[in-house]
Amino acid sequence: MGYLLDRAAACADVISIHSQDYADHSDYLRPHLDKVVAIYPPVEIPRPDRDAVVAWREELGLNGAKLVGFAGRFVEEKGFDYLMKAIPLVLERMPGCKFAYAGDPNVVYERFFQQCMDLFEPCRGHVTMLGLIRDQQKLANFYAMCDVFCVPSRTDCFPSVQIEALLCGTPLVTADIPGARQVVKATGMGLLVAPRDERALADGLVQVLSDRAAYVKPYEEIRATFNPDASVEAYERLLQSMAS
């Protein structure tokens, strides 16, 4: 597989990627930086239904609680084990804090959730498992329901869930790694923390939860930075330049 990827990169005229930061730090892409074109992904998500958000929180028994959201494939790359380790540290300082996971932990190609059961069981009572959310409106309501959205990844090229969360008004706490850190750096709507460090992650979550308003930016400002029309136009210009 490595050989095929190297040959594909060598043969390509252009390599499109979402983050120049990731390319600059990628052993795979670094030899081909002259071909790399970074274009933000064209992310679309509905505006949250605020009444539905309030009703969902009440249905889940989360009214009045500080809520940390996380989502995605439950695989080693995503670093959810560090979040499981951070949860008791957050609860020491915020005993009523809750956590909500959107996704299917039982991915068929990696049994990482099962490997993390020793970490998960002690904090199970503080984690609401919502399952995989396919409906876009409900996904937007999930992000809006959370006070902060957490991305503790070991590696990540450019998790679009971060843009979705920001567009729904929810600030981030993200591991300071190439690619994943780009959204916080571009918007200032969140906090970067040391990667693979549960104490730094817990400190970051407590900091944002304690002063959430300081990290929230206007919707129009986020949409101006991550504009799907601008992304599509950038892809069109790239394809036109190649065709000519």
Q: Which of the two residues, 23 and 6, has the higher pLDDT score?
A: 23
Q: Which of the two residues, 243 and 193, has the higher pLDDT score?
A: 193
Query: pLDDT tier at 108 (50, 70, 90 boundaries)?
Result: confident
- What average pLDDT does the structure give for the chain? 95
Q: What is the pLDDT of residues 122-135, one digit of tens each?
A: 999 999 999 999 99
- Calculate mean pLDDT across residues 169-190: 97
The answer to whether residue 41 scores a pLDDT higher than 90 is yes
End-to-end CA distance of the chain: give it in Å, rounded: 32
- What is the Cα–Cα distance from 30 to 102, expressed in whole angstroms? 34
The percent of residues above 70 in pLDDT, for the chain, comes to 100
- Calculate mean pLDDT across residues 96-107: 94
What's the pLDDT at 86?
Answer: 98
- What is the Cα–Cα distance from 197 to 216, expressed in whole angstroms? 24
User: Which residue type sits at 62?
Assistant: L
- Calculate mean pLDDT across residues 38-49: 97
For the CA atoms of 154, 157, 163, 164, the dihedral, rounded to the nearest 10 degrees, stands at -80
The answer to whether residue 107 scores a pLDDT higher than 90 is no
The answer to whether residue 109 scores a pLDDT higher than 80 is no
The answer to whether residue 142 scores a pLDDT higher than 70 is yes
Residue at token pair 């190609």: 109
Query: pLDDT tier at 200 (50, 70, 90 boundaries)?
Result: very high
Q: What pTM, to 2 d.p., does this model score?
A: 0.94
What's the pLDDT at 151?
Answer: 98
Query: pLDDT tier at 1 (50, 70, 90 boundaries)?
Result: low
Domains of the chain: 2-42+227-243 (no CATH), 50-224 (3.40.50.2000)
DSSP state of 44: -
